[in-house]
Structure 1
């Protein structure tokens, strides 16, 4: 029996690290996952153990290459962004993979903007809200002035997805999706590194820029294959939708964050949009994708805990709550607001919901209170998604991730966008699949898959029977 041709994909998240093998029909035929305990960096802050991660990537790849039932033709990587890894002159990693949640020193932020101009101007040009350590460009700036001895040893720097590719190819490259994801490195108005990046000499420490649909040829343990340059996970998750749907759409990718992605909105970011946590990503082929972020998953988690404590039910009790249109109607007509907090939570950056200010004793049941929570969250989702919908011909909204499985959220979202078709979308391992599809034409002679996304349409009354 001949070996099955496959592509191997490493999907590296903050918590779980996964390896998948996809066959030529993009079905998962083998998988493995690991999670690693964080270590502390030289400041005592938690960070990824890059030595352990690199060891797992190389040993896992060696393992699958030895599986006789599979023939690995190609390899690619998706990983979280906003994180840089540095190499010295002898190609050894130096320093740490600093955590993007690490507090950013106020004096360095002040120094940066005093040197290079107003925060709002740079944010507009780089399509990156000022997010401190979540801007990998600022983290690089911090390294230069906070740890100058370490900085002087840097020969090359790579974002995490490109470092994973480097482990196999030994080639230093940069990728558009990693550069263009709230890094503050890329000038969207000039389509090149921002002037401040050049002034600091950082552009000399990055490799040549590749789009995510290109590959490098490499041999790993005597096994030749085509290797992608790696890509940012949010951009990878968008690819199955771009391949499956030609009509303009918005994807709301939900998890801890609810990220509204509109690949069909080409208008430049405005100052108001930046205030509301809008930004731009770079599409895997280098085009801008306007996006807005809402901390909705985190807020839902916190309020579900609060509800569980108040009503003395399990934390996940909300999974048993069915959508009740009559209850929604009652709440809209009769529920008192939360005092003078309404304008506060409508203002940027939409980090918390109105529900956090509500008095739980006014709700007769858990079900009533939970429906109000979802009303409050969707009212913010409307504001957030509207920002990327404006001036674009979108007629469909797809929702994937946790909220796509929440019937109350989905029905209320359909109500919030009555002129737009709203669908819950399900894609098995969308991020890994996207990284595989990005380099499809380099290894797979079959047509692109047509049915990799399952859809369920919703109206204000609930799902439409399929």
Structure 2
């Protein structure tokens, strides 16, 4: 019986190693390191070797202390790895690097339409197709040096097992390379000439392979220990609910990115200009989604303040009112291109925190509306610990808000790739709304709309 699952969990900000107990989903241990971007030639890149040493050391100790029965992997999207002749990875491009923008016109002429892929045209390297197009153009000899292309979770699976795959959730994350409805590669794969390089697409919960002899030496894990294919991190947050819920619901996965995913909602027409898109979940289903860089926005405005706002701070924000209007991170989200502004400055750090929390909740609510969400809304990750964010959402979402404030919600979802039955999820907290917050939200919406009308 699978009991202890080690999860390699790489978000945009941090890399984590978590040991999750099945079926309780209790996190026995969590280790983290920053996911720093190296400013090295030929382009900004992720520290793959540093992560590998971190994972190897942690896996060795966790196995010694607790025993590990299987390994799961979950990573951020918009990431792939090029593997060369000797099995070593070539430098892995940071998706925020702006190099691909220099070839936007040429790439736009070859990419499939949003109606086929559900993938909006995004800046920098946020479309994997744009990454590859730019990398091959920048280095004409690169294509000949590449033997395999894998999406990011499967790079770690390759290091652990030697087996190759891509997973459908990572391929379905605004790559331009995948057709969500058909469950097949798009025509861009042939336009880029990479069909013979891309590893096969597989479901996240399939077993990729067993720990190789070399990885066993480096990690201290038993040779042959199973490693699953792996999953995109926002879909890891969604996965437990796919297994355990019926009817309509939404999941909001919070971190550097806030990803809002609607299951069995009204499925309205999506607007790619507002950062709505189609994701692919762990069961292979198309999922209407919206996103904005909420964690990045929180860090930019909060400025490392770790205090607690007072009742007086909340009262002042509501009465004056102090409004933060979009967009803090103007390169993405439903109000991309808008210039952030305060209706008036906060006088205390607590006031700033409250107004910021309300802003993030209102951005989330905007996303829920755009993708036709219905039913209860589950908040996963760091924002599930923010009472002001939750109170605002609860004031606007009568179907109910559920907060799941585990240390690494994505890790629990990834561990469930090994589950043999639907999980019994821990009881969530259910925050209550407040009529005063609903009035504040109406003022915020009016101000946002006035800004749109002014821009027009």
TM over 0.5: yes
Question: In structure 1, what is the Cα distance between the partners aligned to 2:204 and 2:283?
Answer: 6
Residue 155 of structure 2 corresponds to residue 163 of structure 1:
yes
Find out whether 1:125 has 2:116 as its counterpart: yes
In the other structure, the counterpart of 1:458 is: 432
Take 1:24 and 1:336, find their aligned partners in 2: how far apart are those partners? 44
- Give how far 1:137 is off: 1.7
Question: Match of 1:20, SS?
Answer: strand
Instruction: Give 1:234's aligned residue.
Output: 234
Query: Quick one: distance in 2 between partners of 1:323 and 1:422?
Result: 25
Rate the CA distance shift 1:376–1:354 in 2: closer, same or farther, 3 A.
Answer: farther
Q: Does 1:385 align with 2:377?
A: no
Report the CA distance between 1:295 and its aligned residue.
Answer: 3.1
SS of 1:14's partner is coil
Q: How does 1:1-400 map to 2 (within 5 A)?
A: 5-25=3-23, 26-35=25-34, 38-43=37-42, 45-65=43-63, 67=64, 70-93=66-89, 95-114=90-109, 116=110, 122-131=113-122, 132-220=124-212, 221=216, 223-265=223-265, 267=267, 269-270=269-270, 273-305=271-303, 315-317=305-307, 319-322=308-311, 330-331=319-320, 349-351=334-336, 356-360=341-345, 372-388=355-371, 390=372, 394-400=374-380
Counterpart-to-counterpart distance in 2, 1:209 and 1:337 = 42
Deviation at 1:210, TM superposition (A): 0.7
Quickly say closer, same or farther: Cα 1:157–1:426, change in 2 above 3 A.
Answer: same
1:172 Cα shift? 0.9
Q: Greater CA radius of gyration, 1 or 2?
A: 1
Deviation (angstroms), 1:368: 5.9
Q: Secondary structure at the match of 2:121?
A: coil
CA–CA distance in structure 1, aligned partners of residues 358 and 12 of structure 2: 30
Cα-Cα RMSD: 3.4
| Residue 219 of structure 1: how far off its partner (Å) | 4.1
1:243–1:462 CA distance, 2 compared to 1 (3 A):
farther
Q: Which runs of 5+ in 1 are unaligned?
A: 306-313, 442-446
Which whole-Å deviations, capped at 9, do the CAs of 1:216-259 have from their partners, x for residues lacking one?
34144353222101211111121223334334211222233332
Counterpart of 1:415 in structure 2 is: 395
How far did residue 62 of structure 1 move?
4.4
Flag structure 2 segments of 5+ consecutive residues without an equivalent: 217-221, 438-456
The TM-score normalised by the length of structure 1 is: 0.80
CA positional deviation for 1:413: 1.6
**SS at the partner of 1:155?**
strand
1:256-293 CA-to-partner distances (Å, cap 9, x unmatched) read 333211122473753xx211111121101211121111
Counterpart of 1:308 in structure 2 is none
- Number of residues of Structure 1 aligned to a counterpart in Structure 2: 424
Q: CA deviation at 1:141?
A: 1.2
**TM-score, normalised relative to structure 2:** 0.81
Aligned partners of 1:5 and 1:70 also within 8 Å = no
